[in-house]
Amino acid sequence: MGHQHYNGVKTAALFGVMWAVLLGIGWVIGGGTPRFLWIFTAIGLVTTAYSYWNSDKIAIRSMQARPVSELEQPVMYRVVRELSTTARQPMPRLYVSPTMAPNAFATGRNPQNAAVCCTEGILSLLDERELRGVLGHELMHVYNRDILTSSVAAAIAGVITSVAQFAMFFGGGSDRDRGGNPLAGLLLVFLAPLAATMIQLAISRTREYDADEDGATLTGDPLALASALRKLEQGTQARPLPQDQKLVDVSHLMIANPFSGAGAAKLFSTHPPMAERIARLEAMAGTQGGITRY
């Protein structure tokens, strides 16, 4: 699927910057050779592999979701089956989370091991057309392998933070040994984790734009998703999830930011502004002549 906003290129570029930051900090504290970089990288790869392989179980458990049958959720089953068939992908497992905070997410390492979860809140808030738009968005996260993308981004950011903490507590006196500027090394140690976090968030926001666009293409109805996002913006603010660490860890998977926040908190959001997402979908509908398949 073609991306009007070149989101794939943006993601690749952001990963390039993140790797440059990682190599830069490793070079500085390693005295010109990344002495400890490989150790932290190996640790990051192991933890990432575990999280990626078990991403569906972790997210489902965090939201206390339960599997539902077609008899319990006929609309959800019908819509997901139709969209999966259209995309020529296997039917994912379906779950419902017992919370009235309106949200939805999809997870799983590949389409064969995918799970889609809706909260009770979103099922009562949206009509079928809007729910179809949301489910199209979530399925595209799986088809685009966004779970892998976010896992790798989190791993690199984690390695950068670990290396910086190691340098801060155990020295990294390489600058002194080389007669360099210790202040520059100190700034890098403090600023590199912040830069890594900001890049990780930018990657997450870029993947949301991608899922919006590809999901709207899958359903053929960009305005349905735009309408759903309007309702979700109000619904999540009225019923935010608590800032529990388990929920924070999986919040990037959800279609809408599940926490209340304003001002500086928006800078560190894993989700792009709703107004921008809605504007892009409306523009997308305009280029299609306002014709939908639903």
86/98 Cα distance (integer angstroms): 29
Give, rounded to a whole angstrom, the gap between the first and last alpha carbons of the chain. Answer: 20
Of 130, 138, 213, 233, which is the active-site residue? 138
For 24, 77, 229, the CA distances from 132, given in Å and listed in that order, are: 45, 11, 12
Count how many residues are written for the chain. 294
Question: β-strands 115-119, 93-97: how paired?
Answer: parallel
For 73, 213, 232, the CA distances from 278, given in Å and listed in that order, are: 28, 11, 12
The answer to whether residue 282 is catalytic is no
Whether residue 158 contacts residue 44, with contact meaning beta carbons closer than 8 Å, is answered with yes
Sign of CA dihedral 264, 268, 274, 275: positive
71/49 Cα distance (integer angstroms): 36
Catalytic residues, by residue number, are 138
